[in-house]
Amino acid sequence: MTAQSPILTVSNASKEFDVSAPWLNRVLERKPKLFVKAVDDVSFTVPRGSCFSIVGESGCGKSTVARLVTGLYATTAGDIRFSAGSGGEPVRVQMIFQDPHSSLNPRWRVGDIIAEPIREMKLRASEAETRERVEELLSTVGLAADDARNYPHEFSGGQRQRISIARALASEPELLVCDEPTSALDVSVQAQILNLMRRLQQELGLTYLFISHDLSVVRHMSDTIAVMYLGRIVEMGPAESLFNAPQHPYSRLLLGTIPDIHAPHRDRALQSGEPPSPLDPPLGCAFHPRCALANERCGRDLPELLSVGAATVRCHAVEEGRAQETSVSEAV
Amino acid sequence: MMMQAVSPPDPTPDAAALGAEAVLEVSNLTVEFPTRRGVLTAIDNVSMQIAPGEILGVVGESGAGKSITGLAVLGLLEAPGRIAGGEIHVAGRRIDMLSEDELTKVRGREMGAIFQDPLTALNPLFTIGVQLVETIRLHSGLSKEAARDRALTLLREVGIPAPRERLSQYPHQFSGGMRQRVVIALALAAEPALIIADEPTTALDVSIQAQITALLRRLCKDHRTGVMLVTHDMGVIAETADRVAVMYSGRMVETGRVKDVIHDAQHPYTKGLMAAIPSLHERVETLTQIDGAMPRLNARPEGCAFNPRCPMAGPRCRRENPVLAPAGRNQAACFLHDGGTE
Ligand SMILES: Nc1ncnc2c1ncn2[C@@H]1O[C@H](COP(=O)(O)OP(=O)(O)OP(=O)(O)O)[C@@H](O)[C@H]1O
Ligand SMILES: Nc1ncnc2c1ncn2[C@@H]1O[C@H](COP(=O)(O)OP(=O)(O)O)[C@@H](O)[C@H]1O
Ligand code: SF4
Ligand code: SF4
Ligand SMILES: [Mg+2]
Ligand SMILES: [Mg+2]
């Protein structure tokens, strides 16, 4: 059950990266400065104790949102606000990354990796208590107390992701930002980690901002889902309604093309083009070059976010009531 | 090759019915890596067959031996890796004994390869046109003009818009999805009997992935090319393959038609694997999980390699190594289907 008070509120957040060639090259080749708008006017709220997920294809800005929320990047515009934490002090935020290999210091023993935030933040009074806490964390994520003595390379990918989770939990966070936490893992191990994350959420009352390109994983984890395309949220709503009745043509394309072991759509010719370059996004609705419902207005005006039932959708066809006429399979 | 009989009503013939017409026949393949601490058996006694126009999916966890199987067939195992046993026949000809020169010829003419990263297959210094025309001429003896026409046809076939203009462009001027289409065109250029595709869509986005798997499937049916599709993604197998071979720790543990393996798996590992995939259609509280992880090659347990993780394991599983035997509509290497686990 999710309390309604948001733990995180993101309002009109944008992030621009300067990807220009070095100054001298620009002068010599007479090239202008070049910017990528990785995140463009993104707003959402995450209720305490829930799981809010962001999906979309690579480069659409998911990781950039995660890094804005965790403060690894500063916003170019807009703002990101946390409510007060449960004890009145600021909400603690931690991040879990895709590749547990590169996010763990290879020269440190696992026990020290997990103990670092505890020592840093002086969360335990003595070294003995710290060690006790590390053992407790290891057992929480399904590892043995003995594992504290070993180095990260001695563990499998799934075990390393458990270590990352233990370290993230060490600072007693309320919000965990997880960027593709299981994408580097095999399915049988992925199931172990997803089950662990769900259990921790219930036991510790954690809130997740969850990022993945795998829609079946997202379906399993989320209460609310935002679909991003080229830096913008194009549809956002409760997981159930997004999966059962996607509104935006891009959400439909995504749902229509994910491989489904139970209902393969083999032999269907898919002519849906490719995502455009973020350096040169199309005018109007960024999806219009690939959209079967695009009309002249779509190539000119950016659609506004519009409430449709429980969801919000950014699409002219939905607004004009044209979206329902075409079935999903015809649209892609 | 044998004369083609009247085409069977079922497009996916059983392995047993393939006989001499198979484009690939691997029997009892064993691949070893000698290391300082002893010989590692990466592939242990694996057999498979692929018919013309058939797609065999090879699926398994990271390190299960999928890629090594494909590389062994292509004759591209890197030293010290070596084929330590078994036979490989491509288009009716035994190839595992051939010299490097002869193998290079067979590889060019009878086998195409598609890898995860299309850039490894394309030379950055030459235009797409030059690379296609070269490959076609090398294996067909066509004139330059005829080869160019054939290259255009191929590019059109793999769905490259404006192929004439594209011929004069370099690989870096193509997007990831378009590059993979070009690689497919290159793989088809010599009209090979067999294509080995190792994770061909893993680096691509889902919407592009669907385009590429659909393309691969259509082309292999049209050209009657056999495909070994190596992937860790069961979804891709479901979309693309006719039959599937499930690998675990260097061994084949189950094989059968895709729908039979997905819906009616017989091996405890395959069952666990299918149940561990989150469903798109319903949300469950807890996913079925297989505890533990696949053993490393140097720590493969005695008997059935799956026994430490298997809920059904009995004493025999820790003693003997099961081999493929009929199980339901599939073949599974498990004593539950072959005399019991006691
Ligand atoms: N040069 C080598 N020396 C020793 N062992 C090797 C070598 N190359 C591969 N192996 C081992 O052979 C086994 C099979 O490797 P392979 O690359 O076929 O796995 P895979 O199933 O393709 O995995 P992935 O899904 O990660 O690509 C692995 O255990 C691997 O560690
Ligand atoms: N540090 C950076 N410098 C320049 N461009 C970046 C940087 N990080 C991300 N980008 C660009 O911003 C866009 C969104 O990237 P990202 O958030 O990583 O996407 P996702 O996580 O959805 O795959 C991409 O076009 C990417 O190339
Ligand atoms: S706004 Fe127009 S182009 Fe964009 S998704 Fe809707 S119909 Fe398609
Ligand atoms: S042989 Fe035994 S251990 Fe192996 S899968 Fe079958 S029951 Fe399990
Ligand atoms: Mg990312
Ligand atoms: Mg591989």
Integer CA distances (angstroms), A292 to A243, A252, A268, in order: 20, 11, 16
Residue B132 counted as domain residue: no
Position A267 scores a pLDDT of 60
The answer on pLDDT for B174 being more than 70 is: yes
Ligand 4 mutation target, pool B246, B251, B306, most atoms within 8 A of CB: B306
pLDDT confidence tier of residue B160, bands split at 50, 70 and 90: confident
Position A63 scores a pLDDT of 92
Count of other CB atoms within 10 angstroms of residue A104: 22
Cα of A52 vs its chain's centroid, Å: 8
For the Cβ of A64 lying below 6 angstroms from any atom of ligand 2, the answer is yes
Contact (CB<8Å) A267/B214: yes
Residue B143 counted as domain residue: no
Question: Rounded to a whole number, what is the distance in Å from the CA of B209 to chain A's nearest CA?
Answer: 8
E strand or H helix at A249, and its extent?
Answer: helix A249-257
Residue B227 counted as domain residue: yes
Residue A174 near residue A91 (C-beta atoms within 8 A): yes
Looking at beta carbons, which residues of chain A come within 8 Å of B262? 261-262
- The pLDDT tens digits for B52-101 are 999 999 999 888 999 999 999 999 998 899 999 999 999 999 999 999 89
**What DSSP letter does each residue of A58-126 carry, written as one string?**
TTSSHHHHHHHHTTSS--SEEEEEE-B-TTSSBPPEEEE-S-TTTTS-TTS-HHHHHHHHHHHTT-SSS
Cα dihedral B136→B140→B146→B150 (10° resolution): -50
Alpha helix stretches (DSSP H) within chain B: 15-18, 66-74, 100-110, 118-121, 128-140, 144-157, 163-166, 176-189, 206-223, 234-240, 258-263, 268-276
Q: Return the percentage of chain B with pLDDT > 70, whole number.
A: 94
Residue B243 near residue B258 (C-beta atoms within 8 A): yes
Which ranges in chain A are annotated with CATH 3.40.50.300? Answer: 6-91+174-331
Structural domains of chain B, count: 1
Both tokens of residue A304? 């506004």
Both tokens of residue B120? 């490894």
β-strand partners of B82: B32
The amino acid that residue A85 corresponds to is: G
The answer on pLDDT for A74 being more than 80 is: yes
- The pLDDT tens digits for A290-321 are 999 999 999 999 999 999 999 999 999 999 99
d(CA A126, CA A149): 19
- The pLDDT tens digits for B263-304 are 999 999 999 999 999 988 888 889 988 988 888 888 899 999
Q: Which residue has the tokens 């180095």?
A: A151
Instruction: Select from B239, B262, B274, B282 the residue whose CB has the most chain A CBs within 10 Å, as the one to mutate to test that interface.
Output: B239
Question: Rounded to a whole number, what is the distance in Å from the CA of A68 to chain B's nearest CA?
Answer: 23
Please report, in angstroms and rounded to a whole number, the separation of the first and last CA atoms in chain A: 36
Position A325 scores a pLDDT of 53
Q: Does A71 touch chain B if contact means CB atoms closer than 8 Å? A: no
CATH number, domain of B313, equals 3.40.50.300
Instruction: Supply the pTM of this predicted model.
Output: 0.86
Question: Rounded to a whole number, what is the distance in Å from the CA of A272 to chain B's nearest CA?
Answer: 8
**Phi/psi-derived region of residue A159, left when phi > 0, alpha when psi is between -120 and 50, beta in every other case:** alpha
Scan residues 146-165 of B and list those with Cβ closer than 8 Å to A.
none
- The pLDDT tens digits for B100-158 are 899 988 888 899 999 888 888 899 999 999 999 999 998 888 999 999 999 999 999 88
CA atoms within 13 A of residue A308's CA, in its CB half-sphere = 24
Distance B306 CA to ligand 4 centre (A): 6
Position B131 scores a pLDDT of 94
Both tokens of residue A31? 């090239």
d(CA A45, CA A312): 13
Cα of A95 vs its chain's centroid, Å: 11
**Which among A191, A261, A262 is the nearest to B287, CB-wise?**
A191
In whole numbers, what is the pLDDT of chain B averaged over residues? 90
The answer on pLDDT for B179 being more than 80 is: yes
Position A328 scores a pLDDT of 44
Position A270 scores a pLDDT of 62
Both tokens of residue A46? 């995450």
Closest atom of ligand 1 to CA, residue B78? 1
For helices A110-120 and A127-140, the axis angle rounded to 10 degrees is: 120
Across residues B158-162, what is the average pLDDT?
86
Position A266 scores a pLDDT of 66
- The pLDDT tens digits for A231-275 are 999 999 999 999 999 999 999 998 888 888 887 876 665 666 777
Count of other CB atoms within 10 angstroms of residue A132: 13
Position B298 scores a pLDDT of 84
Position A120 scores a pLDDT of 93
The answer on pLDDT for A109 being more than 90 is: yes
Residue B185 near residue B131 (C-beta atoms within 8 A): no
Alpha helix stretches (DSSP H) within A121-186: 127-140, 157-170
Q: For residue A276, give the chain B residue with the closest CA.
A: B175
Across residues A69-85, what is the average pLDDT?
92
Across residues B319-336, what is the average pLDDT?
98
Q: How many residues does chain A have?
A: 332
Q: Which residues contact A250 (CB under 8 A, 6 or more apart)?
A: A227, A229, A234, A235, A287, A290, A291
Closest atom of ligand 4 to CA, residue B268? 5
E strand or H helix at A189, and its extent?
Answer: helix A187-204
Across residues A163-168, what is the average pLDDT?
94
Cα of A267 vs its chain's centroid, Å: 31
In whole numbers, what is the pLDDT of chain A averaged over residues? 89
Could you tell me the fold of the domain covering A6-91+174-331? Rossmann fold (3.40.50)
Expressed as residue numbers, the domain containing B291 is 2-110+192-279+287-337
Q: What ipTM describes this predicted complex?
A: 0.80
Ligand 3 first shell, C-beta below 6 A:
A 248-249, 285, 287-288, 291, 293-294, 298, 303, 315-317
Residue B151 counted as domain residue: no
Residue B172 counted as domain residue: no
Both tokens of residue B212? 């590429």
